[in-house]
Amino acid sequence: GKRDRRIAVCFVDLDGFKVVNDTLGHQVGDQLLVSVAQRLRKAVGEHLVARLGGDEFVILMEDTTCTDDALKIADAALAAIATPARVDGHSLSVSASIGIVERPVEGTTATELMRAADITLHWAKSSGKGRWALFDPERNEREMTRYALSAAIPTALERGEFYLDYQPLVSLRSGALIGVEALARWRHPELGLLYPDRFISLAEETGLIVRLGGWVLAEACAQARRWLDVNPQAPYVSVNLAVRQVQDPGLVDDVTMLLRQTGLPPHQLQLEITESAIMSASDEPVHALRHLADLGVRVAIDDFGTGYSNLAYLRSLPVRELKVAGSFVSGLREPSDAASRTDERILAALVSLAHSLDLTVTAEGVETAHQADRLRAIGCEAGQGWHLGRPGPPEHIDALLTAAR
């Protein structure tokens, strides 16, 4: 009966069809579409094939017994489309991406089916083209949540839902507090407390990172100034800059204005950038960082040793410090462990490289006293991690400063 019936839809989109149109003209493009349509019709047997427009086709399969039925048809369609075609004296090869949805008829509407197939087609395209993807309700749910989160960032900024925690950066020689890293947190009204891994990449994708990052910078500078007012030995504050912020033409003016407004001395601010941010940068961001360094702002490379390392940039960039990624530090276990010895040698080499360039080194992810001892022995200046101090509100730093006086 109708209750048990199933249905499947395949959204088919040609990869690289635009290139054919642009290079050989629309006439050849149209003939290629006719050729693809004929091959599709042959490949899918009795199922309905229709062209939706442009280079998109849809295959409708009624009364499928299971998902496998749809996958077999999708494979046949991919193979048929990939066969080179003779069109107007040219031998043309195109591939296709296919989004597949197969489900019970009951409880679904045509609109939902088409929307799900369209979403799934995008998954196929983004995972490399020339393939099919199958609709996955859980993945769809995750992506919808991500989308909703991303759309909520501007309002959250206006409502003051973001705040900063600060994690101590500690001298490994003296144990003194020398800096703090500002870490963004989001008190979401429905989802509770969110950490940066839930929203920073979203903000980067949508470009909202420039606005969110600007807020973090302003908040951190104001807090650093408050500490300085209380204690002349106050720590510098370190703020992460995303790729888009580094590339933003207004960066130098924004930072200069913030320092002027807050009265924070430039050497009390450190900007952390990743290797990938530099590698993807053209000359302008490098000029901007140089300009800021000339003002006295500290520049540090974050997660050093994990990105695509082209050490030439260390020559041209006004870097003062390297922050070595926690993944190397976590490898420092017992001296008898061979992998641990390798990690220690890598760290020693990075520290020696930094020192030969007059840079200081902060190790991230220091979680045990043993790791702190090994890093100190290697010559690492500073450390950051749960063993040395967890991220917390400004009051935690107030307490450390009071204790140190």
Tracing tokens 């206006």 back to the chain, one arrives at: 158
Do 202 and 239 sit in the same domain of this protein? Answer: yes
Do 260 and 301 sit in the same domain of this protein? Answer: yes
**CB neighbour list of residue 138: distance below 8 Å, 6 or more residues apart:** none
Q: Is residue 172 within 8 Å of 376, Cβ to Cβ?
A: yes
Do 185 and 109 sit in the same domain of this protein? Answer: no
Do 298 and 186 sit in the same domain of this protein? Answer: yes
Do 190 and 317 sit in the same domain of this protein? Answer: yes
Residue 143 confidence (pLDDT): 86
Residue 336 confidence (pLDDT): 64
Do 374 and 280 sit in the same domain of this protein? Answer: yes
CA distance 274 to 246: 10
For 25-84, what is each residue's pLDDT tens digit?
999 999 999 999 999 999 999 999 999 988 999 999 999 999 999 999 999 999 999 999
Written as six digits, the tokens of 53 are: 């427009």
Do 269 and 288 sit in the same domain of this protein? Answer: yes
Question: Residues in the chain, how many?
Answer: 405
Do 49 and 95 sit in the same domain of this protein? Answer: yes
Question: What does the DSSP assignment read for 366-393?
Answer: --SHHHHHHHHHHT--EE-STTT---B-
Q: Single out the residue in 115, 135, 155 at which a domain terminates.
A: 135
Per-residue burial over 79-114, b if 16 or more Cβ lie within 10 Å, else e, is: ebbeeebebeeeebebebbbbbbbbeeeeeeeeebe
Number of domains in the chain: 2
225 assigned to some structural domain: yes
Do 109 and 161 sit in the same domain of this protein? Answer: no
Written as six digits, the tokens of 172 are: 């490994």
Residue type, 255: V
For 163-195, what is each residue's pLDDT tens digit?
999 999 999 999 999 999 999 999 999 999 999
Domain that holds residue 88: 6-135
What number is the average pLDDT over the span 344-364? Answer: 92
- SS in 3 state form for 171-236? ECCCCCEEEEEEEEEEEECCCEEECHHHHHHHHHHHCCHHHHHHHHHHHHHHHHHHHHHHCCCCCE
Residue 319: burial class (beta carbons within 10 Å; 0-12, 13-18, 19+): buried
Q: Single out the residue in 101, 135, 169 at which a domain terminates.
A: 135
Q: Single out the residue in 135, 156, 187 at which a domain terminates.
A: 135
Residue 277 confidence (pLDDT): 75
53 assigned to some structural domain: yes
Cβ atoms within 10 A of the Cβ of 165, count?
Answer: 18
For 255-303, what is each residue's pLDDT tens digit?
999 999 999 999 999 999 988 777 765 667 788 889 999 999 999 999 8
For residue 397, give the CATH number of its domain.
Answer: 3.20.20.450
140 assigned to some structural domain: no
1 assigned to some structural domain: no
Do 370 and 334 sit in the same domain of this protein? Answer: yes
Question: What does the DSSP assignment read for 126-168?
Answer: HTTSSSEEE--HHHHHHHHHHHHHHHHHHHHHHHT-EEEEEEE
Do 155 and 267 sit in the same domain of this protein? Answer: yes
Do 154 and 84 sit in the same domain of this protein? Answer: no
224 assigned to some structural domain: yes
Residue type, 340: S
